[in-house]
């Protein structure tokens, strides 16, 4: 780390779900647009070691980085907005912090000391923040949760100490709050923001910028009031208005002066305007698409946050085709009850995403069958690929009890538990009764694509690397049977043992992938699979 590295700490107040992750990612993108090198980090106060074992219905998607870290979905926003790959050095939880402190204590590293939150836990948090920094101009650290949460206190104490140690000229506090609108009073209310800042001040933190979420323009006199009560400059009370698309947010924040105020605070060049051309370009396509296409996502988690990267990747595929993708969220269990035809007859593409456990699997298999029989573009991701393979084995090969051993003990396990695989030349070994946390095949693995296959045309190469998060795999021994039924394995692990991609040769667009392409898609670098899938859906919609 050089002395020039500056730290911006982003906290949230009043309520959760204000979009701290997006605000952090947007600020980072704006600083990039001014020519600075940035890195984003997330500090989550909960006690899980990582979100890998958390229910996606509660916590949303588990994002996976190239290096196999299972992280909060905000890391997805960070990558999509900045194009910079996140790593294990950019995501931490209280669970991980305590685990490390306790490991050191057992090892005897603390030399007889009494282990306390201050300084042992706070030191661990500070060293996480300062670790693995090279020549970045800015490190943006988002503190998860809301000010006042019990679990969050050590984090606030740590960033307070860091501001003291590094100096206020190298540290900045941005606090995101909400100005609720009370219709009966016809007013935006500032009191919750005042209280939230008071609470932050109790921890010794004086915010430098207040980002105030609001559903309408904030009158200047209200900004002045907030500034006076909260000890913040009036021009540093910045409106963060609701946006129609998340990709409008950086432009909106910039026009409110966010990046300007940050540069002014750090005495950086404010004369030069940020280069926001690429943001303007995608905003334009999002606002004025040439058409719309309906794509069904047949999943089982009711919370759309559980499919965050997927929805974004479809949007990116749409942007590349200058189309708006309208996602029809379909519960796989409803497909079981109402039939595929009832729910899928008005869509131009069908996507079955990743998933875990038996619930809804028959609906997903029915969706794959419907797409195959009706020549509707189909993209199966991870579980969605496994379901498509099971469908072919059952209905075309004639193995009626074909299934995954994740779902049934009493089946022909076309998809089975993976107990061994190679990672960077070393064997990874897992057992059926081993720990569940952090033990899947995680992160980036290479795949070799079959020459001349559809997938190799889409990627325009035969060597790819994609991110994985799965415990089961299609059994390669069924390759011949699948091939006779029109489904080829067109991508494999370099040792040829693990099927990574299947495609149907008798179908306009039917592909299943064992990895998660959605994790690497970015608005400015849309993933080729999504670009091609959305294009196939658009072409299909023109046939209807
Ligand atoms: N449950 C499946 C497995 O573990 C698929 C996982 C996923 O879709 N991410 O292999």
List, for residues 380-412, the tens digit of each pLDDT value: 999 999 999 999 999 999 999 999 999 999 999
Of 507, 481, 480, 490, which Cα lies nearest the Cα of 453? Answer: 490
- The per-residue pLDDT for 544 is 60
Task: Give the atom of ligand 1 at the shortest distance from the alpha carbon of 381.
Answer: 8
Q: Which of the residues 468, 507, 516, 527 is marked catalytic?
A: 516
Contact assessment for residue 383 and residue 352, using Cβ atoms and an 8 Å cutoff: yes
- The per-residue pLDDT for 516 is 98
Query: Which has the higher per-residue pLDDT, 204 or 426?
Result: 204
- The per-residue pLDDT for 434 is 80
Q: What percent of the chain is predicted at pLDDT more than 90?
A: 87
Question: Would you say the CB of residue 430 lies under 6 angstroms from ligand 1?
Answer: no
**How confident is residue 304, by pLDDT bands cut at 50, 70 and 90?**
confident
CATH top class, domain 6-282: alpha beta
Question: Residue 533 above 70 pLDDT?
Answer: yes
Q: Where in the chain is the domain with CATH 3.40.50.300?
A: 6-282
Q: Between helices 308-320 and 528-543, what is the axis angle to 10°?
A: 70
User: What's the gap in Å between 253 CA and the centre of ligand 1?
Assistant: 38
The strand order across the sheet containing 472-474 reads 402-404, 412-417, 472-474
Instruction: Determine whether domain 290-416+472-541 maps to CATH 3.40.50.800.
Output: no
Question: Would you say the CB of residue 355 lies under 6 angstroms from ligand 1?
Answer: yes
Write the CA distances from 151 to 99, 122, 154, 528, integer angstroms: 15, 12, 7, 41
**How confident is residue 418, by pLDDT bands cut at 50, 70 and 90?**
confident
Sign, CA torsion 294/295/300/303: negative
Question: Residue 17 above 90 pLDDT?
Answer: no
Question: Residue 442 above 80 pLDDT?
Answer: yes
Q: Where in the chain is the domain with CATH 3.40.50.880?
A: 290-416+472-541
Does 292 participate in catalysis according to the annotation?
no
Q: Encode pLDDT of 208-219 as tens digits.
A: 999 999 999 999
Does 212 participate in catalysis according to the annotation?
no
Task: Give the atom of ligand 1 at the shortest distance from the alpha carbon of 356.
Answer: 1
**How confident is residue 348, by pLDDT bands cut at 50, 70 and 90?**
very high
Q: Are strands 378-381 and 70-71 parallel, antiparallel or unpaired?
A: unpaired
Question: Residue 91 above 70 pLDDT?
Answer: yes
User: What's the gap in Å between 409 CA and the centre of ligand 1?
Assistant: 17
With 0-12 / 13-18 / 19 or more C-beta atoms within 10 angstroms meaning exposed / middle / buried, residue 85 is middle
Q: What are the strands, taking DSSP E only, across 75-143?
A: 91-93, 138-143
Task: Give the atom of ligand 1 at the shortest distance from the alpha carbon of 357.
Answer: 1
- Over residues 174-195, mean pLDDT: 94
Q: What is d(CA 448, CA 532) in angstroms, rounded to the nearest whole number? A: 19
Identify any residues that bridge with 174 across adjacent strands, giving them in sequence order.
10, 209
- Over residues 41-63, mean pLDDT: 88
Q: What is d(CA 111, CA 352) in angstroms, rounded to the nearest whole number? A: 54
- To which residue do tokens 């992938």 refer? 513
Hey, whose CA ends up nearest to atom 1 of ligand 1?
A: 356
Question: Would you say the CB of residue 301 lies under 6 angstroms from ligand 1?
Answer: no
Query: Which has the higher per-residue pLDDT, 499 or 431?
Result: 499
User: What's the gap in Å between 389 CA and the centre of ligand 1?
Assistant: 14
Task: Give the atom of ligand 1 at the shortest distance from the alpha carbon of 406.
Answer: 1
- The per-residue pLDDT for 286 is 96
CA angle 195, 201, 206 (to 5 degrees): 110
Ligand 1 binding pocket mutation candidate from 388, 415, 467, 470 (most atoms within 8 A of CB): 470
Q: Encode pLDDT of 237-256 as tens digits.
A: 999 999 999 999 999 999 99
Number of C-beta neighbours around residue 6 at 10 A: 22
Of 212, 220, 193, which Cα lies nearest the Cα of 258? Answer: 212
- The per-residue pLDDT for 502 is 98
User: What's the gap in Å between 523 CA and the centre of ligand 1?
Assistant: 26
């Amino acid at each position: 780390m050089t002395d020039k590295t500056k730290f911006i700490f982003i906290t949230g107040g009043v309520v959760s779900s204000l979009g701290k992750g997006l605000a952090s990612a947007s600020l980072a993108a704006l600083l990039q647009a001014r020519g600075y090198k940035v890195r984003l980090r997330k500090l989550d106060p909960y006690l899980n070691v990582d979100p890998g074992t958390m229910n996606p219905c509660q916590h949303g998607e588990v994002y996976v980085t190239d290096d196999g870290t299972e992280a909060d979905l905000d890391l997805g926003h960070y990558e999509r907005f900045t194009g910079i790959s996140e790593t294990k050095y950019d995501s931490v939880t209280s669970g991980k912090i305590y685990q490390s402190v306790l490991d050191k204590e057992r090892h005897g590293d603390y030399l007889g000391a009494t282990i306390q939150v201050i300084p042992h836990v706070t030191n661990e948090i500070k060293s996480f923040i300062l670790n693995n920094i090279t020549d970045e101009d800015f490190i943006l650290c988002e503190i998860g949760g809301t000010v006042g949460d019990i679990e969050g206190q050590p984090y606030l104490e740590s960033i307070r100490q860091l501001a003291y140690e590094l100096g206020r000229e190298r540290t900045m506090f941005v606090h995101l709050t909400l100005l609720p609108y009370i219709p009966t009073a016809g007013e935006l209310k500032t009191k919750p923001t005042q209280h939230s800042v008071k609470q932050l001040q109790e921890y010794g933190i004086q915010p430098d910028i207040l980002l105030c979420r609001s559903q309408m323009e904030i009158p200047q006199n209200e900004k002045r009031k907030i500034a006076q009560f909260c000890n913040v400059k009036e021009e540093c009370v910045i409106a963060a208005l609701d946006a129609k698309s998340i990709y409008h947010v950086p432009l909106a924040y910039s026009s409110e002066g966010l990046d300007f105020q940050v540069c002014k605070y750090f005495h950086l060049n404010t004369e030069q305007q940020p280069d926001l051309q690429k943001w303007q370009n995608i905003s334009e396509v999002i606002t004025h698409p040439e058409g719309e296409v309906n794509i069904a996502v047949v999943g089982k988690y009711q919370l759309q946050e559980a499919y965050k990267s997927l929805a974004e990747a479809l949007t990116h595929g749409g942007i590349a085709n200058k189309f708006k993708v309208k996602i029809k969220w379909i519960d796989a269990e409803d497909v079981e009850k109402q039939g595929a035809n009832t729910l899928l007859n008005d869509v131009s593409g069908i996507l079955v995403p990743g998933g875990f456990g038996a619930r809804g699997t028959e609906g997903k298999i029915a969706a794959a069958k419907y797409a195959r029989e009706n020549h509707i573009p189909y993209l199966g991701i991870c579980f969605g690929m496994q379901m498509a393979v099971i469908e072919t084995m059952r209905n075309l090969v004639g193995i009626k009890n074909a299934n995954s051993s994740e779902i049934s003990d009493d089946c022909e396990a076309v998809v089975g538990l993976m107990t061994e695989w190679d990672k960077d030349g070393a064997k990874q070994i897992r057992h059926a009764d081993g720990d569940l946390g952090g033990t899947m095949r995680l992160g980036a693995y290479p795949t070799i694509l079959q020459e001349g296959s559809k997938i190799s045309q889409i990627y325009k190469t035969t060597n790819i690397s994609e991110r994985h998060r799965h415990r089961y795999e299609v059994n390669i021994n069924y390759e011949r049977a699948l091939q006779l039924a029109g489904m080829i394995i067109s991508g494999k692990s370099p040792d040829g043992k693990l099927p990574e991609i299947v495609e149907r040769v008798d179908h306009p667009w039917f592909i299943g992938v064992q990895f998660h392409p959605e994790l690497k898609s970015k608005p400015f670098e849309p993933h080729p699979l999504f670009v091609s899938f959305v294009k196939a859906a658009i072409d299909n919609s023109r046939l209807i």
